[in-house]
Structure 1
Amino acid sequence: MYNPFFPLFSAMMLALESQKVVELRLVRLAWGGRDGRDEAAAMVAEKIDAAVEATATLMGGGSLETVVSRYREHVAANTKRLTAA
């Protein structure tokens, strides 16, 4: 059964979850050095890749819900990577 609140909930969760990644990245960038430079480069590359993936999904007939769900997967992976080090 379709839940009309699920897309809104999923988008809100993406906004909340992404704040943790922003925090972790800002700390890494503030420390600078090789880790900061590597994180800056990775951040730009990931954002470009995610935008290309989202565009391809939407142009291929995918839904906005699919795009948000995939972004949440990326955010979860970044959170895991940034908290492991």
Structure 2
Amino acid sequence: MFNPFFSSMMLALEAQKVIELRLVRLAWGGREGRAEMQSMVIEKVHAAIEATNTLMCGGSPEMVVARYREHVATNTKRLLAA
């Protein structure tokens, strides 16, 4: 059974780690900082388009949250590896 409160709470907690890692990268600046800044903006626009498309095609908010969590997990892996 899907619990939307739990899933949304987990998304918020997981996103905090990505925010922390990105802030560190931005604070260091340089080429990597600029690349991360551009990546953040592009990812946010793509995620908003994807979420809108999901909802317009009959998807549920739970599907949107699940997909956002996938994006957050991918970003966490990428940022921890670098």
User: TM-score, normalising length from structure 1?
Assistant: 0.94
Could you tell me how far 1:27 is from its partner in structure 2?
0.2
**Aligned counterparts of 1:64 and 1:9: Cα–Cα separation in 2:** 13
AA matched with 2:30:
G
Equivalent residues, number: 82
Could you tell me how far 1:25 is from its partner in structure 2?
0.2
Q: What stretches of structure 1 of length at least 5 have no aligned partner?
A: none
Aligned counterpart in structure 1 of residue 10 of structure 2, from 10, 13, 21: 13
Larger-gyration structure (1/2):
1
Residue 43 (structure 2) pairs with residue 62 (structure 1): no
Q: What stretches of structure 2 of length at least 5 have no aligned partner?
A: none
Say which SS state the counterpart of residue 40 (structure 2) adopts. Answer: helix
**Aligned counterparts of 2:12 and 2:39: Cα–Cα separation in 1:** 20
Q: CA deviation digits over 1:35-75, x for unaligned, max 9?
A: 00000000000000000000000011100000000000000
AA matched with 1:23:
E
User: TM-score, normalising length from structure 2?
Assistant: 0.98
Could you tell me how far 1:29 is from its partner in structure 2?
0.2
**Aligned counterparts of 1:10 and 1:38: Cα–Cα separation in 2:** 30
**Aligned counterparts of 2:38 and 2:61: Cα–Cα separation in 1:** 27
User: Which 4+ residue blocks in structure 1 deviate beyond 2 angstroms?
Assistant: none
**Aligned counterparts of 1:41 and 1:79: Cα–Cα separation in 2:** 17
Identical columns (%): 72
* Residue in 2 that maps onto 1:84: 81
Tell me the C-alpha RMSD between the 2 structures: 0.7
